[in-house]
Structure 1
């Protein structure tokens, strides 16, 4: 008798053995053969539908939009615009196009930045819930993948077993023909289903990573780096206002600013 494929994982092999033992080829109604693997296919379809819904979740979409808005306002307060050329023609040209002083420009955008940051931080509990659901669905997907592979392995084994039985006793052909045909059809259908699982799982991995990075972004940038940068800019602008002719070292501000922009690249939501 043909043996099960030993290259399959232990979990798949154990599950396949249980499935083989549960199939009764002597049942004249053979409902278990006709419906072989249909339940796990339904679970797989449900997994794919939920994965698509999570990819379009409103919380995640809102976080992406807020992130885009935040980056726009952050780029609008580039230290090069706020502090470079504060004397002479260049500064006057900047002021004309900006329609306000450097401090006024900063105040307008930093108020918007503070509002957007607050909105993002309010999304954190929902993002955590979303991430937990994604992780749970990811584990469920692994189990579905294992079950599909086990059904395919078991189905192919049973079809091969029937071939051997008929070869030994051709008179059994009529008894097994319909069941064998049904199992071949079910195995073929299951093989088509199993191909969709890696795509769904890969998408879930990407979504989990994106949500996790967004939550880390809220902790690292919005609660720590952004307030520190805003405080340093406000201090420098106050000094510039009080001492217009004084030379201001903005190297630290520029370093912090570059770090903020880099946070968006790490978050990978843009």
Structure 2
């Protein structure tokens, strides 16, 4: 038989404590800190202070430090007295970023090439706007409306005899002014309604052409900066006298390439300047067409119709004083509408 003590917990020794597997006596010795705690331990050689950083980045060419080209805003403006400070600063950034030590001439071959790509994109946008179907349809409605209003010219329709010029006008005047007005006014209103329906689309095209004009001006400034930078780099290279013939020839080749690129950019800038003028004229025309389309049906035409009706009523009563008083406001309104239409038609 087993003893009953087997079911009881083991007896604790008097004054006993839990067993510690890793006593403090087994802890590793603390490493003493070096006398100068701020300095790293140098395993090989003697410590040396790092080289202080310069205020400009170091550019390497074939493992050698490339010296920056000495250039400033004053130097660039000295080459072109008409260059603004903004253009000179842009040119300075271009000079600093051009690597003449590249064996593949990458910076020189592509010098200003993205600007010419941008010019092609803007030229396509310009052609698309000029050939817009919305604008073409608006021009057609405006031309037809102008012809109708010229046929309803009050000076000819209500011409009276008296003096050679008035006699000629009276002979050319229609026999039935009221009949002429009744026949042409529905056409005038229909054309005005068509223009009014096109107004939102014409306004959208006007915004597009303004955006293209702003982009052209920005492109012109960027081209000016590249042209000035290219001229400076060519002058800098031509002034170099290097003992290494191979390197001198390398620089001379880049000078020729830069001259070619600068001439190409100058031709592009000339084209851009012409485009700025053209886009400004087209913008003026489309904005005038948009204003005409927005205001004709609701503002100008109702007033013109009321004045014309009053003049026709006065003509039927054959009262000279009343005819004169009604024709003056009609003539003014008619002239104002014709002015808007003719401004739209005087496009480049």
User: Quick check: TM above 0.5?
Assistant: yes
Evaluate the alpha carbon distance shift between residue 180 and residue 128 of structure 1 in structure 2; reply closer, same or farther with a 3 A threshold. Answer: same
Q: Which has the higher contact order (CA 8 A, sep 6+)?
A: 1
How far residue 46 of structure 1 moved from its aligned partner, in angstroms, is 2.0
| Residue 5 (structure 1) aligned to one of 52, 77, 97 | 77
Q: Could you tell me how far apart the structure 1 residues matched to 2:103 and 2:131 are?
A: 47
When the two chains are superposed, the root-mean-square deviation of aligned CA atoms in Å is 2.7
Counterpart CA distance in 2 for 1:254 and 1:181 is: 67
Say whether residues 1:37 and 2:129 are aligned partners. Answer: no
| Structure 1 residue runs without a partner (length 5+) | 96-100
Q: Distance in 2 between matches of 1:78 and 1:147?
A: 51
Of 61-70 and 3-12, more deviation after overlay is shown by 3-12
Gaps of 5+ in 2: 1-69, 161-169
Residues 1:183 and 1:235: Cα distance change in structure 2 (over 3 Å): same
In the TM superposition, what is the alpha-carbon distance from 1:206 to its structure 2 partner?
0.4
CA distance in structure 2 between the aligned counterparts of 1:149 and 1:81, rounded to whole angstroms: 55
Alignment partner, residue 181 of structure 1:
256
The answer (yes or no) to whether the contact 1:82–1:106 under 8 Å persists in 2 is no
CA distance in 2 between counterparts of 1:193 and 1:14 reads: 21
Deviations 1:23-53 (A, max 9, x none): 1112212212111111111111222232233
Q: CA deviation at 1:246?
A: 5.8
Matching residue of 2:225: 150
Matches within 5 A, 1:1-270: 3-6=75-78, 7=81, 8-80=83-155, 82-84=157-159, 94-95=174-175, 101-165=176-240, 167-169=241-243, 171=245, 172-237=247-312, 248-249=322-323, 250-252=326-328, 253-269=330-346
SS of residue matched to 1:123: helix
| Separation in structure 2 between the aligned mates of residue 40 and residue 265 of structure 1, nearest angstrom | 37
**Larger Cα-atom Rg:** 2
The alpha-carbon distance between structure 1 residues 193 and 94, as it changes in their structure 2 partners (threshold 3 A), is: closer
Which structure shows the higher helix fraction? 1
Describe the shift of the 1:25–1:81 C-alpha distance in structure 2 as closer, same or farther (beyond 3 A): closer
TM-aligned CA distance change 1:17 to 1:212, over 3 Å: same
Aligned-pair distance for 1:266? Answer: 4.2
Shift of 1:192: 1.4
Deviations 1:124-158 (A, max 9, x none): 11111111111111111111111111111111211
TM-score, with structure 1 as normaliser: 0.83
Asked whether the equivalents of residues 100 and 107 of structure 2 are also in contact (C-alpha less than 8 Å), the reply is no
1:5 aligned counterpart, secondary structure = helix
Alignment deviations for residues 71-120 of structure 1 (CA, whole Å, 9 cap, x no partner): 111122233554456xxxx89x944xxxxx43332121000000101111
1:45 and 1:37 map into 2 onto residues whose CA distance is 13
- SS of the residue 2:148 aligns to: helix
Deviation, 1:239, is 6.6
Change over 3 Å in CA distance of 1:17–1:58 after alignment to 2 = same
